[in-house]
Structure 1
Amino acid sequence: MPTESKLADLARQGCPVFYFYSSEGYLVRQAVRLACRVLAGGEEVTVLDGAAPQVEQLIMAAGTISFFGTRRVVCLPELDPGAYGEKDLEAFMDTVASLENAVLVLGSVFEADRTGKPRPGKRAQRLVAQCKKLGYAEEMTRPGPTELRQMAAERAQAQGAQLTGPALTALLERCGEDPYLLENEVDKLAALSGYQTITPAMVAEAGVVSLEADVFEMVRMVTGKNAAAACKKLHILLRLGQEPIAITAAMIGSYVDLYRVKLGQQNKKNYSAVFKDFGYKGSDYRLKKSAQTAAGYTLPQLKACLQVLLELDQALKSQPVSPQVLLETALCRLAMAGGSQ
């Protein structure tokens, strides 16, 4: 994802065209909005909607002098080069190459191949090549954990708040890979902190509710043999209305992750290989954390933990015992069943 400073530098150098493309629509929309904001500097942006705006529309928009005598920003956020005929595409590319009074911001979403990368057609490839030659073109890729951490910390800092360490980690676990959700949560927590330091307690109390993240945190308490803290976390989840069966399912998922990563370690495969072999989607951050936890376990210990969870699942569905009692008992058994020896 291009930074605001990078786009501003390119604008000062007179870059005439910015092209962003990806198989992820939200990444393209985010980049296009940022570029338009940086380039327009408060002026109105001319937007030509649709997959194949008429070349005459582009010529007319690009030829209009802005009120302040600067180059007008013309945005085509939904461009599909494959929707043009051969002659129209040639005319479009000729217009792009002859811009004088405008800066173009183009965005395209292409179908993904089996690896998830965008698969532009031949006409799109020609336009991408031309934009790279004339100005700036970039494939938007899904941000990884490192990029998301940097983005969240910088957004908090820009508002005068501090977001680092455990608080930042906890927020990322709750927001997953959604940069829009992450930005909204940072803004909310920055205000809650009085634009000072955002703490893990603030994230837990006011952050977006994520059963998977909460249960993952509870499992880490269990693996640290802190059953009392895990039971306290359980009580909070139940008060929030989380279903015991759903909590159990999330716990099973966490321990299955531990087992798979441990099995990979014994076969000299790291968590990234396990992520690929078992067909996980999204970021491998969760398996990275699981690998750290699994280091303190043996496979027999993890099998014992999975057996405890199997019995918990069966008891919740068949026994007339309080679900809270069953869950608390299981947490204590898990704390005793595994961990560093």
Structure 2
Amino acid sequence: MATEAKLRQLAESGCPVYYFYSSERYLVRQAVAAAVRLLSADSDEEATVLDGAAPELEQLIMAAGTISFFGTRRVVVLPELDPAAYSDKDLDALCETLSSLENAVVVLGSVFPLERGKLKTGKRAQKLTAACKKLGYAEELAKPKPYELKVMMIERAKAQGATLPEGAATALLERCGEDPFLLENEVDKLCALSGYQTVTAAMVAEMGTVSLEADVFEMTRMITAKNATGACKKLQALLRLQQEPIAITAALIGSYVDLYRVKLGSARRKSYSTVFKEFGYKGSDYRLKRSAETASHYTLGQLEACLQVLLDLDRSLKSQPVDAEVLLEAALCRLALAGSGR
């Protein structure tokens, strides 16, 4: 996203149009808010917000043509614009209005779906983007990469007088996912828990947002490290939290399927990011990156044996009257053996 210095430079140069678009709604909202805040800083007049996917052009023309009482350009905001919601004729009129701004500056935001890792924009969206680039400033907002999120978390903890080591930041990222707002809230909570000292990975595991997938993947790494005892202890903790055995098994199967896919991809000289695209995963490929690191300790044959163990576990849980906890513990031990090639 454009830095505050960049936005300030654009404002000082008289840039009349700012367009931010992304697949992530929170990024668009954040960028639009930052631009509006800076553009309105020298005025006591609130920005005019035109909500909806296709605000009426008459409203935009009226808002943009009204002279500000304070002698500054009026800030008009279209935060949820969908170019495809306009007809070709109305979109032409919108672009024409943007090109003839005299008393206003317009900030626009759009959210588009992803398709094979790229924004799915139609002809109208492309036309609007081209017009905004020609008239002012347009930016596609890329989702922050995992390392950028870790830096963000570490800096946020530092601003509060606390320390968030990289290991704890990694654990928090794995547990909570890649939503910056959720991560910021978790950092604030953990900083308070630490007494604004050092946040540890143990604190993240104990007090962080509960994530079954993250806990199960941690079990998978323990099994890979031949620590079946630690995996069984983790299992006991999940059961005490009343996690369902079927749900734990499903998460285990998902983890090992990920390992198998990236291992199979590696055998075909395909990266984890290629596997991510070809199998239609959603969100970030960070999950498969971690899976690739773990899968490097296995052969394809060992992973196939592990998947057979999990298939047997799934069948047993659904058909045998044996205690589910016993079946799960036995499966973890069998996974450890299958992973060691015995």
Q: Indicate the TM-score class for this superposition, using the shorter chain for normalisation.
A: 0.7 to 0.9
Q: Shift in Å at residue 308 of structure 1? A: 2.2
Q: TM-score normalized by structure 2? A: 0.86
Q: Shift in Å at residue 169 of structure 1? A: 1.1
Q: Shift in Å at residue 328 of structure 1? A: 1.9
Q: Shift in Å at residue 106 of structure 1? A: 0.6
Letter in 2 for 1:16: P
2:116·2:277 contact (CA, 8 Å) conserved in 1? Answer: no
Secondary structure (helix, strand or coil) at the match of 1:338 reads: helix
1:21·1:140 contact (CA, 8 Å) conserved in 2? Answer: yes
The match for 1:32 is 32
The match for 1:278 is 279
Aligned pair 1:118/2:120, yes or no?
Answer: yes
In 2: Cα distance, 1:171 partner to 1:195 partner? 17
2:302·2:341 contact (CA, 8 Å) conserved in 1? Answer: no
Q: Shift in Å at residue 126 of structure 1? A: 3.2
Query: Which stretch of structure 1 is more off in the superposition, 262-271 or 95-104?
Result: 95-104
The match for 1:65 is 68
The match for 1:247 is 248
1:65·1:71 contact (CA, 8 Å) conserved in 2? Answer: yes
Aligned pair 1:261/2:267, yes or no?
Answer: no
Deviations 1:175-215 (A, max 9, x none): 22333322332333233333443221221122111100110
Q: TM-score normalized by structure 1? A: 0.86
Deviations 1:16-54 (A, max 9, x none): 221012344443233222322343339532212233434
In 1: Cα distance, 2:130 partner to 2:219 partner? 50
In 1: Cα distance, 2:285 partner to 2:157 partner? 25
| Alignment CA distance shift 1:71-1:183 (3 Å) | farther
The match for 1:237 is 238
The match for 1:335 is 336
Deviations 1:238-268 (A, max 9, x none): 1111011111111111112222222222222
Secondary structure (helix, strand or coil) at the match of 1:107 reads: strand
Secondary structure (helix, strand or coil) at the match of 1:32 reads: helix
The match for 1:106 is 108
Identity %: 70
For structure 1, the residue ranges without an aligned partner over 5 or more in a row are none
Q: Shift in Å at residue 117 of structure 1? A: 1.3
| Alignment CA distance shift 1:121-1:243 (3 Å) | same
The match for 2:157 is 156
The match for 1:22 is 22
2:231·2:332 contact (CA, 8 Å) conserved in 1? Answer: yes
Letter in 2 for 1:65: S
Query: Which stretch of structure 1 is more off in the superposition, 111-120 or 129-138?
Result: 111-120
Q: Shift in Å at residue 66 of structure 1? A: 5.8
In 2: Cα distance, 1:111 partner to 1:302 partner? 34
The match for 1:93 is 95
Letter in 1 for 2:128: L
In 2: Cα distance, 1:82 partner to 1:321 partner? 57
In 2: Cα distance, 1:258 partner to 1:125 partner? 38
Letter in 2 for 1:221: M
The match for 2:199 is 198
In 1: Cα distance, 2:5 partner to 2:162 partner? 20
The match for 1:223 is 224
| Alignment CA distance shift 1:264-1:159 (3 Å) | same
Q: Shift in Å at residue 90 of structure 1? A: 4.8
Deviations 1:117-154 (A, max 9, x none): 131333x4333222212321012333332333333334
In 2: Cα distance, 1:272 partner to 1:125 partner? 27
Q: Shift in Å at residue 110 of structure 1? A: 4.1
Aligned pair 1:167/2:168, yes or no?
Answer: yes
In 2: Cα distance, 1:252 partner to 1:85 partner? 47
The match for 2:189 is 188
In 2: Cα distance, 1:272 partner to 1:239 partner? 36
1:297·1:340 contact (CA, 8 Å) conserved in 2? Answer: no
Matched pairs, number: 339
In 2: Cα distance, 1:311 partner to 1:60 partner? 68
For structure 2, the residue ranges without an aligned partner over 5 or more in a row are none
| Alignment CA distance shift 1:7-1:209 (3 Å) | farther
1:296·1:340 contact (CA, 8 Å) conserved in 2? Answer: no
| Alignment CA distance shift 1:278-1:128 (3 Å) | closer
In 2: Cα distance, 1:223 partner to 1:113 partner? 34
Q: CA RMSD in A?
A: 2.9
| Alignment CA distance shift 1:275-1:80 (3 Å) | closer
Query: Which stretch of structure 1 is more off in the superposition, 237-246 or 41-50?
Result: 41-50
